[in-house]
Amino acid sequence: MQLLDYRPDECESLFHEKTEGALRLLSRLALPDPVKHASPPSGFRLRAEFRVWHDGNALHYAMFPPGDSRSPRVIDNFPIVGPRITEAMAPLRARLQRSTELRRKLFQVEFLSTLSGELLVTLIYHRPLDESWRAQALELAEALSCKIIGRSRKQKLVLDTDWVEEMIEVGGQHYRYRQPEQCFTQPNGIINQKMMTWLLAQCVTTDTDLLELYCGIGNFTLPLSQRFRNVLATELSKPATAAARWNAEHNKTSNIELARLSAEEMTAAMADERPFRRLAHLKQALNQYHFETLLADPPRAGLDEATRALAGNFTRVLYISCSPETLARDLATLSVTHEVESLAFFDQFPYTHHLESGVVLKKKAV
């Protein structure tokens, strides 16, 4: 996390500046008018992490300027975090400060919360943790009504579970999500819900199949599964794939298959370049799917060259991007075969230069 330039009165205008910058990058393309989804100016972030600064007997949350580990900025409050984190920050710091056992060589505190009110706190240390630590951490968890994890080098002590459970309504249906610690989840829960709703609205019910790359814990997979005959969702992270599988099973979906493959590996599999044992469990062979739609939510690096070529073969491409620069590069390639049907911007990260975009592309008529 970066230091906060908190300007709530300018939140909407800052978002407008980012969208205008993105449109300049995409200016060579024929674009529809974008839909813009602004974030609340405060209380939107569901995860946060702070270094711990020890100043004599005092203990503070702190952040540091980039490249400067000797100039802590003490954080007394952090207005962008959600209510569950806000409620816990001060009492947690006070209890840590009073406990020699809990504060000793404490290096960092990480918060993971949900819109539905759960909270998981991870305490990271530069020392081994023992039963004395566990006993006091259990008291801390009970006092704050939260889950606690202790971490140090090669050690992880989970006092309850290492995940929180979220409940999100999309298109009139409620979905349960297990969100593990240290798996990527969308940090702005309100904007994430808007992204899910927007994506669902872009898809009509069809008897064709969806291929999803970078599915994470199944954030978009679950609601979109109601629109397609089958969904094959891929993700490289082992814990994220396990969470996505749990989420699919506990939401009683029957048409989602998951495979632990990178986008590059899935592209190779689709081209029949080599067999992958991690696809052997599928209910049907890869060539028996009737894929017409591709959903990709890549990291900031965007799509690699081979995956861009793969996307060119699909009738429709749903692209969620967190980097306007790599989005512009990828769309320059895809515009040879596709045209942009819908465009949306989402202020997932207010007060930063980062911008989330949603693009729907359809195959050009021959």
Among residues 110, 181, 212, 356, the one annotated as catalytic is 356
pLDDT of the chain, 366 residues: tens digit per residue: 666 789 999 999 999 999 999 999 999 999 999 999 999 999 999 999 999 999 988 999 999 888 887 888 999 889 999 999 999 999 999 999 999 999 999 999 999 999 999 999 999 999 999 999 999 999 999 999 999 999 999 999 999 999 999 999 999 999 999 999 989 999 999 999 999 999 999 999 999 999 999 999 999 999 999 999 999 999 999 999 999 999 999 999 999 999 999 999 999 999 999 889 999 999 999 999 999 999 999 999 999 999 999 999 999 999 999 999 999 999 999 999 999 999 999 999 999 999 999 999 999 987
- Looking at CATH, the fold of the domain delimited by 47-163 is given as OB fold (Dihydrolipoamide Acetyltransferase, E2P) (2.40.50)
CATH code matching the domain that covers 8-41+166-363, chosen among 3.90.550.10, 3.40.50.2020, 3.90.700.10, 3.40.50.150: 3.40.50.150
- Which segments of the chain belong to CATH 3.40.50.150? 8-41+166-363
- Which of the residues 322, 325, 339, 341 is marked catalytic? 322
203 belongs to the catalytic site: no
Ranges of CATH 2.40.50.1070 domains, the chain: 47-163
E strand map for the chain? 35-37, 47-55, 58-63, 73-74, 106-113, 119-125, 147-152, 155-158, 163-170, 173-180, 209-213, 230-234, 256-259, 291-296, 316-321, 338-346, 356-363
